[in-house]
Amino acid sequence: MEDSSSSRVGIVAFFAMVTVSAATMLWLFWRFPLLTAIVTLGVLAILGVLAHLARSIDVDLTDRDRTEQRI
């Protein structure tokens, strides 16, 4: 099975975006090591908190009886 040209373009765009992102991060870390490390750890901490909050508020609606739901 051959990939279509649009899926190849998507794959190339994805790798280009990842490469530019990695190069930017390396450049920032080279120029501003302490500030980049602090901001990176802050962003990772925020993502961790958001993931924890998302798990805590996740509700499985298939288990609830539709007659018990209030409108």
Per DSSP (E only), the strands in 1-71 are none
The whole-number pLDDT of residue 30 equals 96
Digits of tens for pLDDT over the chain (71 positions)? 456 788 899 999 999 999 999 999 999 999 999 999 999 999 999 999 999 998 888 776 555 555 555 55
Rounded to whole angstroms, the Cα distance separating 44 from 50 reads 10
The whole-number pLDDT of residue 18 equals 97
The whole-number pLDDT of residue 2 equals 59
The whole-number pLDDT of residue 1 equals 47
Q: Do the beta carbons of residue 23 and residue 30 sit within 8 Å? A: no
3-state SS assignment for residue 1: coil
**Model confidence, pTM:** 0.58
Q: Do the beta carbons of residue 29 and residue 36 sit within 8 Å? A: yes
Single-letter code of the amino acid located at 56: S
